[in-house]
Amino acid sequence: MPHLVHSAIAFGDRPAIHDATGTVTYAALHAHAARVATALLCDTDDLHEARVAVLVTPGAAWVAAMWGVWAAGGIAVPLSPQHPPAEWTYALDDADATALVVDAALHDAIAPVAQARALHVTMVETTDAPRTRLPLIGAERRAMMLYTSGTTGRPKGVVHTHGTLAAQIASLIDAWAWTAADHTLLVLPLHHVHGIVNVTCCALAVGAQLTMHARFDASSTWALLQTRRLTCLHAVPTIWARLLAAYDAMSPDEQRQSRAAVAALRLIVSGSAALPVLVLERWRALSGHTLLERYGMTEIGMALSNPLHGMRVPGHVGMPLPGVEVRAVDDDGHPVAPGVPGALEVRGPGVMREYWRRDADTRAAFRDGWFRTGDVGVLEDTAGGKSWRLLGRQSTDILKTGGYKVSALEIEDAVREHEAVAECAVVGLPDEQWGERVAVAVELRAQASLTLDELRAFLKPRIAPYKIPSALVTPESLPRNAMGKVLKPAVRALFGSA
Ligand code: MCA
Ligand code: AMP
């Protein structure tokens, strides 16, 4: 059994997960994972890195499904219940998945897709008697693939091994002092590193308690904060802003209770997108905590973090986490001096193994063993000592909305499929709530018309909800340079005047 799963045995009858179905102990979780592994293995001894999609509602069963895939020697490909089937089929086909673990609630939605691909379907509720012998899984074996948008075409599968995941988890346990006394809350989606590694895996690796919500909701999060003795919380800036808005709508008495609840936490961590300093200041006033901002990426896990102890500098993301090296380089790939902005590169045991079956992309993503993040940053002297500040991304075609990375090019491809569209350009508009909002400028075909509602309805079955534009303009022609290339800054300006 892989280390991540096996270590749970040590925590025995301690409570592991609280979810909508009740409380599950570590021993029960471990036994459930062994049942899933047994069902997946059928008559074989080892899945030998077969790709197994996991479509299970966030909760203890989701963990059992992932651990079951790992224990059986498969590569887990977590899918989002919020995605339309078209996103699932893309991941299933690209990963060349042969099996699926699904729960009863989501089974019917994916059944046609699974049947068409002859996937071996395992219900996570399986009651198969678990076998006693499961394969030995080394750290070098592939464990998980997450789909992430990039600057080229459709999302790529980022492959992490048992070893890279273990390194990411160990680094965060060390830096943020996770212990078995912790109790955290999962409100993040489980098809990305933030929810999977930073929250779920870290909590379970130390024997802590994890309360899991199927999805984020501000009022139930506040209610839980008041009733459970949580110790730490991890989320994206949009969630911090949503919680502030819900707090503002409370009665003075509820506000007092809410303030006391968050003041009692030991740690609040923000990441996945830039934390607006105003949001940080409001949380400081409300909770007495300076949110700890950190920086990471699907391909590398977490790289930079403000300190657990010591001064956290607003607008900065701190210094490299244990085991991680970070440098900034110029256009020629030469490291730049502190104070000089450069392209951020990261090296360490948590960095991905590869993009699934995309050798050229994998090669292009590394320079001399350093992973090229595409983010630009600068190492500065601050009141709290040296700290990195992020300055943006090298590509304007990568957007961050609600903490999700989305590719303008991928959305443009989907929009172009609409019969009214001759050409289009997707840009991100700065937005207080979402960080950036997806917006599209469309050049219409002759005589055609298109409203935002029509476009959104067209895209809904095709792409994830957070990729769907929430603003549309239809200029006669898109702004282009002399070579005919669409000028994204000028496209963005079209919305200013709209
Ligand atoms: C949803 N809506 C949006 C967006 N998303 N509108 C504009 N922009 C968006 N991005 C709209 C919906 O269409 C809907 O509108 C309404 O908002 C509510 O939708 P819903 O899906 O219910 O939204 P939500 O559930 O409230 O979502 C907000 C959220 C979510 C909870 C903040 O975006 C979220 O979970 N974000 C976290 C993503 C994350 O974990 N990223 C980590 C990846 P209508 O009602 O009109 O239909 S990055 C990572 O892992 C790296 C390693 C790192 O550094 O962490
Ligand atoms: P993803 O590929 O979805 O894992 O998103 C990774 C990207 O999120 C990074 O390359 C950054 O652009 C962005 N990101 C993560 N954390 C932060 C942060 N604290 N501030 C600004 N951007 C961030």
Tokens describing residue 441: 């400028």
Q: What is the mean pLDDT of residues 165-175?
A: 98
Residue 136's pLDDT is 94
Point out which residues pair with 100 in neighbouring strands. 53, 121
Q: Answer yes or no: are the C-beta atoms of 40 and 72 closer than 8 Å.
A: yes
Using CB distances shorter than 6 Å, the residues near ligand 2 are 148, 193, 271-274, 293, 295-298, 317, 373, 375, 390, 393, 400, 405
Q: Residues 56-69: what's their mean pLDDT?
A: 98
* Residue 2 in this model has a pLDDT that exceeds 80: no
Interior angle at CA 132, CA 128 and CA 133, nearest 5:
115
Query: Ligand 2, residues 304, 400, 467: which to mutate, most atoms within 8 A of Cβ?
Result: 400
Range in 8-17, 201-210, 461-470 the model is least confident about: 8-17
pLDDT surpassing 90 at residue 150: no
Which residues sit opposite 184 in a β-bridge? 210, 232
In angstroms, the CA 75 to CA 7 distance is: 19
Fold of the domain built from segment(s) 398-497: GMP Synthetase; Chain A, domain 3 (3.30.300)
What's the pLDDT at 104? 98
Arithmetic mean of pLDDT, 200-220: 97
- What's the rounded mean pLDDT across residues 279-306? 97
End-to-end C-alpha distance for the chain, whole angstroms: 58
**For residue range 397-442, what is the model confidence (pLDDT) as tens digits?**
999 999 999 999 999 999 999 999 999 999 999 999 999 999 999 9
Burial class of residue 99, CB neighbours in 10 A (0-12, 13-18, 19+) = buried
Strands (E), 173-276: 183-186, 209-212, 232-235, 267-270
> CATH topology for 2-137?
Rossmann fold (3.40.50)
Please tell me the number of the ligand nearest to residue 155's CA: 2
Domain boundaries defined on the chain: 2-137, 398-497
The protein residue with its alpha carbon nearest to ligand 1, atom 47, reads 465
Ligand 1, atom 14, lies closest to the CA of 465
For residues 135-140, average pLDDT: 96
Q: What residues are paired with 393 via a beta bridge? A: 375
Q: What band does 497 get if pLDDT is binned at 50, 70 and 90? A: low
Amino acid sitting at position 383: A
What are 375-395's pLDDT values in tens digits?
999 999 999 999 999 999 999
Beta strand ranges found along 60-113 (DSSP E):
75-78, 99-102
pTM over 0.95: yes
Q: Is 222 in the pocket of ligand 1 (CB under 6 A)?
A: no
Instruction: Examine the pLDDT at 496 and tell me if it is beyond 90.
Output: no
Calculate how far, in angstroms, residue 230's C-alpha sits from the geometric centre of ligand 1. 23
Ligand 1 contact, 271 CB (< 6 A): yes
Residue 1's pLDDT is 67
Instruction: Please provide the size of the chain in residues.
Output: 498
The yes-or-no verdict on residue 317 having pLDDT over 90 is yes
Q: Which of 131, 145, 139, 134 is nearest to 50 (CA)?
A: 145
Q: For ligand 2, atom 6, name the residue with the nearest CA.
A: 297
Q: Is the CB of 276 under 6 A from ligand 1?
A: no
User: What is the atom index within ligand 2 of the atom nearest the CA of 304?
Assistant: 19
Cα 456–chain centre separation: 24
